[in-house]
Amino acid sequence: MNVKKMMDYFRGTPRNTASLAKERLQIIVSHERVATREGGVDFLPQLEQELLDVISKYMTIDREQVKVHLARDGDLSILELNVTLPDKAKTPAV
Amino acid sequence: MNVKKMMDYFRGTPRNTASLAKERLQIIVSHERVATREGGVDFLPQLEQELLDVISKYMTIDREQVKVHLARDGDLSILELNVTLPDKAKTPAV
């Protein structure tokens, strides 16, 4: 994927006024299955909690500030997590 | 983010001929820090292994088939993992 296009894409993500000065984290998982293959189970819904657990090791996440969106279109599934970080994020332990 | 735009975006990701019939997984983490705040440490490089560990619970991942890209532009960091899944993926244990 073109890096510049990706940067433009994420910078161009709409945000509301309240979050303008907020630190933000966005996680997108896209899973494209092969339609002809059996057993292509969609596991993205299960990932939400696990991804947040991983991120929580590095930052304090307010679960109320996490917006989750799951979209499906044929053999393509996309899980999107949008996290607005609290003003006082903990210092990463790394 | 507009769902249709996102679908088009991920479907439009270039892929080589060999991966045409392959199952694919793409993980993108974008972290937008607040430039004026101190302590905005970039932890995305540490996430690579942890994200793959989470995914490995659901699918068999060939680590040689994982392409990692980390991009930075000012206060925006983006970690991108592109995974081409082996033909014989294990059945998710869920």
Residue A65 lies in a domain: yes
Nearest to B62 by CA among B21, B5, B24, B10: B24
Place B19 in a pLDDT band, splitting at 50, 70 and 90.
very low
Residue B93 lies in a domain: no
Domain membership flag for residue B7: yes
Beta bridge partners of A25: A83, B31
Q: Which residue has the tokens 């793409």?
A: B26
Q: Which residue in chain A has the smallest CA separation from B15?
A: A1
Other beta carbons less than 10 A from residue B15's beta carbon: 13
> Is B64 near chain A, with CB under 8 Å?
no
Please count the structural domains in chain B.
1
Q: Is residue B90 included in any domain, yes or no?
A: no
- Boundaries of domain holding B23: 3-84
CB contact under 8 A, A34 and B28: no
Cβ pair B78:A47 closer than 8 A: no
Residue A92 domain flag: no
Query: What ipTM was estimated for this complex?
Result: 0.78
B92 occurs within a structural domain: no
CB atoms within 10 A of CB B76: 16
- On whether any CB of chain B is under 8 Å from the CB of A20, the answer is no
Q: Each residue of A41-52: pLDDT tens digit? A: 678 888 999 999
DSSP chain B: --HHHHHHHHHTS---GGGTTS-EEEEEEEEE--TTSTT----HHHHHHHHHHHHHTTS---GGGEEEEEEEETTEEEEEEEEEPPSSPPPP--
Q: What is the DSSP letter of A42?
A: -
We report the CATH number of the domain holding residue A27 as 3.30.1070.10
Residue B88, pLDDT above cutoff 70: no
Which of B41, B80, B89 is the closest to A92 by Cβ? Answer: B41
What is the rounded distance in angstroms from the CA atom of residue B84 to the CA atom of residue A72? 19
Structural domain contains residue B91: no
- Contact (CB<8Å) A7/B69: no
B59-72, pLDDT tens digit by residue? 888 889 999 999 99
Nearest CA in chain A to B92: A41
How far, in whole angstroms, is CA A36 from its chain's centroid?
A: 28
Residue B89 counted as domain residue: no
